Chains A and B, each alone.
Chain A
Amino acid sequence: MNAQMQKAAPIIEAIDLHKSYGKHEVLKGLDLSLERGEVVALIGPSGSGKSTFIRCLNMMEIPTGGMIRFRQKAVGERFRDKGGEIGIGTLRRHVGMVFQHFNLFPHKTVLQNVTEGPIVVCKTPKKEAEERAMSLLAQVGLADKHGAYPNHLSGGQKQRVAIARALAMEPEVLLLDEVTSALDPELVGEVLSVIRGLAEKGMTMAIVTHEMAFAADVASRVLFLDQGVIAESGSAEQVILNPQNPRLQGFVSRFRG
């Protein structure tokens, strides 16, 4: 494989992805292919399946049909690699996730939250992990909070720590699941600017968001999910600024106000 091909090869793919809860089918066959450096925004009404979809990408939800491929290899349902299949554990080491409700570890300090993954999962020496964590905290503007416990932080600060925690694993892909939806409006900006910085540095990301202006700004591609399928996809200009699908037109216009 030459360098040219490697660059074009997708890092993570979803192929004909289905997910049902009992009789209720949430995802009805979705395909996605993420290349290095791409930022894909997933938009759509609540219940459209966008959160379920992004959670399938790191197997937080196990798909009921189709498959996830990571570096052209199928991801299995076991934690460890087996045969030609990549294990869920391996997948998650390389695919980070940030949640709507932060989910910081309340019994650990900010620094420990960030070093936990590298030390426990990657067996990085503590000192090295801490040095790296401090530089990541500086990157998200929270170096001075390294000794604080999560309960003493604002929502925006918590989410920035959560981003640093995910980055500490040096992920190849970052999944952001409505990361500003639980924040007070005045705290949204500080989190979005961190994400914007990551996009500028070439981080590959899939972002579920309701922030249309932000999606239009950072995303190289926007997918509109509706009723469990990708109803429209294309550049931000096409999908958000010039929508064709009538349901998408209605959805986008509601956010324009």
Chain B
Amino acid sequence: MSYNWDFHSVWQYYDLFLLGLWISVLYTFGSIFFGVIIGFLTCAARLSRWRALNAVARIYQEVFRCTPLLVQLLWFYYAFPLLIGASIDNRVAGMLTLSLYVGAFYAEIFRGGIVSIDRGQREAAAAIGMSPWQSMTRIILPQALKRVLPSFINQSVIQFKNTSLVSVISVADLAYMAAVVNGQTYRPLESYTVMAVLYILMLLPLTQAADWIEKRLRVSD
């Protein structure tokens, strides 16, 4: 079987690919940023002694961890507006969903790190008169965050790939642009291959960095 590769006609639209890639990067870092904030708050709620708060955080986490991201995107874009009686911009819906989704996972990663720190650390901090806040910020968190860094990076790498789903609600990310280029050129093999290669080029350095960091942390422990 012979196939006439024609990357040239596809690469004419390189600006679309690059714009799409930029949008994907934007959604990745945007949702990581908001996700970290949501994750910290949720984690704090999970660790609080206030039961109601704990339950709310837990329900949020389970809802977002137990439904596919695609389903969440469709729900927030098509169903949520009916619930609140106002339309919602697809870019807002995309960013919101991605952030809530990754926040649920971050919360669990942070929580796991914090509870894995030996109880004696908290006691030692308390014994020199530190407040619970000082103990958390100066003793527990620095150790916990170091411990969860590899899982955090892994989750963030997955998040980059997950952003491709916002294309189904017409956010013009890399996946969406690849479809656009395909529509213009009728060259699906080339269009989607370029897209895949761009994803690899973005993510390979990140996974390598994650491995390197994980190895370094293991040595220093």
Contact = CB atoms under 8 A, between A and B. Distances in A.
Same complex for A and B? Answer: yes
Contacts of B206: none
Interface in B105-130: 118, 120-121, 123-130
List the 3 closest pairs (A to B, CB-CB), nearest first: A117-B128, A103-B124, A103-B120
B19 to A, nearest CB: 43
A101 interface: yes
Interface stretch (A44-52, A88-96, A229-237): A88-96
B183 interface: no
28 contacts: A60-B126, A89-B131, A92-B126, A92-B128, A93-B128, A93-B129, A96-B127, A99-B120, A99-B123, A101-B120, A103-B121, A103-B124, A104-B124, A105-B139, A106-B143, A107-B146, A116-B128, A117-B128, A117-B129, A117-B130, A120-B138, A121-B128, A121-B129, A122-B129, A151-B221, A162-B124, A165-B128, A168-B128
B128 A60 contact: no
Nearest to A98: B127
Interface string B65-94: 000000000000000000000000000000
A92 B130 CA distance: 8
A92 B127 contact: yes
Contacts of B138: 116, 120
B132 interface: yes
A71 to B, nearest CB: 16
Contacts, number: 61
B154 interface: no
Nearest to A94: B129
A179 interface: no
Given A121-B130, A162-B124, 19 more contacts: A60-B123, A60-B126, A79-B131, A92-B126, A96-B127, A96-B128, A103-B123, A105-B121, A105-B124, A105-B143, A106-B143, A107-B143, A116-B128, A121-B128, A121-B134, A151-B221, A165-B124, A166-B127, A169-B129
B12 to A, nearest CB: 53
A60 B127 contact: yes
User: Interface size class for chain B?
Assistant: 20 to 34
B188 interface: no
Interface in A102-118: 102-107, 116-117
A122 B129 CA distance: 9
A97 interface: yes
Given A107-B146, A120-B138, A79 B120 contact: no
A58 interface: yes
Most B Cβ at <10 Å: residue of A93, A107, A166? A107
A90 B130 CA distance: 10
Interface string B200-220: 000000000000000000000
A79 B132 CA distance: 9
Interface string A124-150: 000000000000000000000000000
Contact of A99 (B124, B131, B139): B124
A169 B124 contact: no
Nearest to A96: B127
Contacts of A122: 129
A99 B118 CA distance: 13
Interface string B123-160: 11111111110100011001100100000000000000
A93 B134 CA distance: 14
B139 A92 contact: no
B219 to A, nearest CB: 12
Nearest to A114: B128
A97 B93 CA distance: 53
Contacts of A120: 130, 134, 138
B120 to A, nearest CB: 4
Nearest to B119: A103
A169 B128 contact: yes
B127 A107 contact: no
Contacts of B142: 107
Interface in A54-68: 58, 60
Contacts of B139: 105
Given A89-B129, A117-B129, A103 B118 contact: yes
A116 B126 CA distance: 12
Most A Cβ at <10 Å: residue of B121, B124, B130, B138? B124
Most A Cβ at <10 Å: residue of B123, B143, B221? B123
